[in-house]
Structure 1
Amino acid sequence: MANYKILVVDDEEDLCEILKFNLEVEGYEVDTANSAEEALQMHLADYNLLLLDVMMGEMNGFKMASLLRKNEKLKHIPIIFLTAKDTEDDKLMGFNIGADDYISKPFSIREVIARVKAVLRRSAEKVTPEVLQFERLYIDPVKKRAFIDQEELPLTKKEFEILSLLLSHPGQVFSREEILSKIWTDEVYVLDRTIDVNITRLRKKIGEYGKHIVTRLGYGYCFETH
């Protein structure tokens, strides 16, 4: 549990501190922000859960959640809304945006902790593969898409699979035979030269990150992260 990081976003500073204290007692690592704008300046990908107030200053919680759900790197982060807006329409809006839970104010700390544990447990049970990332280059293994920042890379199926293989094992050298056996599984006759051609094209398509796909003469290829 100590590995879970939670961000509490609420314009009520006292409430932030109360939640922070009680969640830390439960073993979570907790940070706070007093506005959506402040939260968006933080490295949100580090967090396993957001507790997000709806009624805040210029940007409300619904708007912030909508932005996160449109961001490939951040859309997987569970969100629990904390709010005094508890009409059925408000709750439906929250869930339509992609909320994982919705807690109406006033609430008990025990209820919040129970809901936090339930959402984190459900999140941990999801068997979706993790997004692979190196700096601004990342791969969504579910949708089979690769990006630099928000720009999708025009990779072929084989190029995507080579990049996924190398990026998921940084520093590990794969021989041409290993790459062939893992990626060209259904094809009987494939030349080693085919690997080289695909690697060359892949390097060009990933731009500045192409230099991280390194040739180890006599051995094969690897993705170096330094």
Structure 2
Amino acid sequence: MEQPTAASAPPSRGLVLIVEDERAIADVQRIYLSRAGFGVHVETTGQGGLDRIRGLRPVAVVLDVGLPDIDGIEVCRRLRARNDWTPIIFVTARDDEVDMLLGLELGADDYMTKPFSPRELVTRLKTVLRRSDGIPRRGVLRAGPVTLDPEARTAAVDGSPVELTAREFDVLAYLMASPGRVFSREQLLSAVWGQADYSAGRTVDVHIAQLRSKLGPGNPLRTRRGVGYSADAEGS
């Protein structure tokens, strides 16, 4: 990893919880996030992370998968089971697509494979927390039974609230803001994820699949084979 070269800035962007059992890695992450204006707290076990998330209410969690007690995937599972949708970035030494897909399906917002640049971590975290930045705003968005409020960041199907992760919300809002327009995976990665690693197109597919599952059979999402995805104005 890169070594930091400057002093930390006073925290102003909220508290980030790092759950990482390798102290040297956690220290580098902490310093770079502090320099970017975040407050930082470090835990070295999955159980410690679960306890602190409830007590500290961080703006995001940087969560190692390979923890010594409860692994990161189980931590994420337990958080989502108790309806805690704090944004999560998975950090894993396993270059394994199965781990990545499982994490995203459970509701993680992003993932990074070790080794990685701590500057990239800061960039990814800012993107996760960006919320509605870069998403066209047209007031409340509607398509079939789905209603989306970009300002309040709430979603509903036939009036019943639906819990979406920050990334799922951003993908859906981006598509619903331009009904009928087809966006390629590359365009969605650039607009919503803020990245140009187009080999990560599978990440888009996973989020679309999760949205369809949560929104039900009347969801407005459409696949245009060989092109990308769109949201129909009327749903199905």
For normalisation by structure 1, the TM-score amounts to: 0.53
Residue aligned with 2:131, SS: helix
**Percent identical residues:** 33
Query: What corresponds to 1:77 in structure 2?
Result: 86
1:49-77: per-residue Cα shift (whole Å, max 9, x none)? 000000111210000000000113x2x21
Query: What corresponds to 1:59 in structure 2?
Result: 70
Query: What corresponds to 2:24 in structure 1?
Result: 14
Residues 142, 53 of structure 1: alpha-carbon distance in 2 compared, 3 angstrom cutoff: farther
Map 1:48-197 onto structure 2 (within 5 A): 48-72=59-83, 74=84, 76-122=85-131, 127-128=151-152, 143=161
Offset, 1:41: 2.1
Does structure 2 retain, via aligned residues, the 8 Å contact 1:128–1:142? Answer: no
Gaps (5+ residues) in structure 1? 131-140, 145-226
Residues 70, 122 of structure 1: alpha-carbon distance in 2 compared, 3 angstrom cutoff: same
Cα distance in 1 for partners of 2:160, 2:52 equals 26
Does structure 2 retain, via aligned residues, the 8 Å contact 1:78–1:123? Answer: no
Residues 142, 110 of structure 1: alpha-carbon distance in 2 compared, 3 angstrom cutoff: farther
Does structure 2 retain, via aligned residues, the 8 Å contact 1:35–1:56? Answer: yes
Residues 98, 29 of structure 1: alpha-carbon distance in 2 compared, 3 angstrom cutoff: same
Offset, 1:99: 0.9
Query: What corresponds to 2:145 in structure 1?
Result: none
2:62 is matched by which residue type in structure 1?
Answer: L
Residues 94, 37 of structure 1: alpha-carbon distance in 2 compared, 3 angstrom cutoff: same
Cα distance in 2 for partners of 1:7, 1:123 equals 22
Gaps (5+ residues) in structure 2? 1-10, 136-149, 163-236
Larger radius of gyration: 1
1:122 is matched by which residue type in structure 2?
Answer: R
Does structure 2 retain, via aligned residues, the 8 Å contact 1:51–1:81? Answer: yes
Cα distance in 1 for partners of 2:160, 2:14 equals 23
Query: What corresponds to 2:46 in structure 1?
Result: 36
1:65-93: per-residue Cα shift (whole Å, max 9, x none)? 00000113x2x210000011122211111
Offset, 1:123: 6.8
By relative contact order (CA 8 Å, sep 6+), the higher-ranking structure is 2
For normalisation by structure 2, the TM-score amounts to: 0.51
Cα distance in 2 for partners of 1:14, 1:85 equals 18
Cα distance in 2 for partners of 1:110, 1:129 equals 28
Residues 62, 48 of structure 1: alpha-carbon distance in 2 compared, 3 angstrom cutoff: same
